[in-house]
């Protein structure tokens, strides 16, 4: 049994992770702002992680074997957490994102299309951190999501005395209404309603992961013996046409496409730039991934039975 603290953990794969940790026999503490209570038997600290004084006071004399940070989006948040958990944990696992590799958001080494992107393309040990940017502005953080994650990883990487690992997640799907981004629902509702999906002329593939598989990987990461970033994605990249074809088979009607000019925004998962991740490092460390094509039809079936979104 380990003492594990989860920051966030109130919805989707974070909520499932808390349940999996508890089922595995760990002593779990959840820190969030109190929107959703954790399962019975899980300690709940209601505090804003952005308030360093309040966070430090809430932690009191607690120590943990591992902290899993689900909701760190900026280097400022990372620095607050690094100070608050100094000498309180031996291992810190941060949930990061595939978006750190998006070449539209930073000057990154070129990866030929079709070559799975490895972790070293973005090295947090050498990434520049700029704490003086407007990281307290929610609109700025949303617009600079990828850079916020890159810099947060960089802050934690440079903290001494703690094992730091980041899990760079692919696009997460599955769970029906739990999939709060609405991206899969966007496709399901448009294909089922014969409404056009906007795509790029040459749509490039990306990678996905089921929310249950991501929860399992994060559970594994709490006890695995590695530091640094790992990519988390199921086997088998898909482009927007592959995705639509699987949905069309379940919905019983074909997709309708509308091609947009270069540079114009298209539907989610239609990309005109390549940054599909490689999961080779996680496999070498001992984690086994499923195939996207095996679980995606079930995720589509769940989405088809979910109440449609009025804005999709």
Any domain includes 309: no
Per the DSSP assignment, residues forming a β-bridge with 293 are none
Task: For 69-95, write each residue's pLDDT tens digit.
Answer: 999 999 999 999 999 999 999 999 999
Distance, CA of 11 to CA of 71 (rounded, Å) = 11
pLDDT, residue 296, reads 95
The reported pTM is: 0.94
Range 259-277 average pLDDT: 89
Cα 200 to chain centroid distance, Å, stands at 24
Distance, CA of 49 to CA of 51 (rounded, Å) = 5
Cα 292 to chain centroid distance, Å, stands at 16
**Does pLDDT of 193 surpass 50?**
yes
Distance, CA of 233 to CA of 206 (rounded, Å) = 10
Note whether 119 and 281 are within 8 A (CB).
yes
Per the DSSP assignment, residues forming a β-bridge with 204 are 271
Any domain includes 238: yes
At how many degrees (to 10) do helices 240-251 and 292-304 cross? 50
CB atoms within 10 A of CB 263: 7
CA distances from 153 to 145, 149, 179, 305 (A): 13, 6, 25, 38
Range 145-151 average pLDDT: 98
Any domain includes 185: yes
Any domain includes 310: no
CATH of the domain at 83: 3.40.50.720
Any domain includes 125: yes
Distance, CA of 246 to CA of 57 (rounded, Å) = 50
Any domain includes 87: yes
Give the number of residues written for the chain. Answer: 312
How many domains would you assign to the chain?
1
- What tokens appear for 43 in the block? 């300690």
Task: For 236-252, write each residue's pLDDT tens digit.
Answer: 999 999 999 999 998 88
Residue 89's domain comprises: 3-304
Per the DSSP assignment, residues forming a β-bridge with 230 are 167
Task: For 14-27, write each residue's pLDDT tens digit.
Answer: 899 999 999 999 99
% of the chain residues with pLDDT over 70: 98
pLDDT, residue 111, reads 86
Any domain includes 311: no
Helices (H), the chain: 12-23, 52-59, 75-84, 138-143, 145-157, 183-192, 211-221, 240-251, 280-285, 292-304
Any domain includes 53: yes
Note whether 140 and 299 are within 8 A (CB).
no
């Amino acid at each position: 049994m380990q003492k594990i603290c989860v920051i966030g953990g109130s919805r989707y794969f974070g909520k499932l992770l808390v349940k999996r940790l508890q089922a595995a026999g760990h002593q779990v503490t959840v820190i969030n702002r109190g929107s959703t209570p954790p399962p019975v038997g899980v300690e709940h600290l209601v505090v804003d992680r952005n308030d360093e004084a309040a966070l430090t006071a809430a932690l009191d004399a607690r120590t943990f074997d591992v902290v899993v940070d689900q909701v760190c989006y900026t280097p400022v948040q990372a620095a607050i957490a690094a100070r608050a958990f100094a000498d309180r944990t031996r291992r810190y696992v941060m949930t990061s994102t595939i978006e750190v590799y998006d070449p539209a958001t930073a000057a990154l080494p070129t990866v030929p299309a079709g070559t799975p992107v490895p972790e070293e393309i973005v090295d947090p040990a050498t990434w520049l951190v700029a704490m003086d940017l407007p990281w307290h502005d929610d609109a700025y953080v949303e617009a600079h999501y990828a850079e916020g994650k890159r810099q947060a990883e960089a802050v934690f990487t440079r903290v001494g005395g703690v094992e730091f690992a980041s899990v760079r997640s692919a696009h997460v799907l599955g769970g029906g209404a739990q999939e709060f981004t609405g991206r899969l629902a966007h496709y399901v509702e448009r294909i089922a309603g014969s409404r056009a999906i906007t795509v790029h002329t040459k749509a490039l593939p990306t990678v996905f992961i089921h929310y249950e598989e991501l929860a399992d990987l994060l559970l594994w990461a709490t006890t695995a013996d590695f530091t640094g970033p790992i990519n988390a994605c199921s086997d088998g990249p898909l482009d927007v046409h592959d995705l639509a074809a699987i949905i069309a088979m379940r919905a019983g009607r074909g997709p309708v496409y509308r091609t947009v000019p270069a540079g114009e925004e298209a539907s989610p998962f239609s990309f005109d730039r390549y940054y599909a991740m490689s999961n080779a490092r996680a496999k070498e460390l001992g984690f086994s991934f499923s195939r996207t094509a095996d679980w995606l039809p079930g995720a589509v079936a769940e989405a088809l039975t979910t109440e449609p979104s009025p804005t999709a």
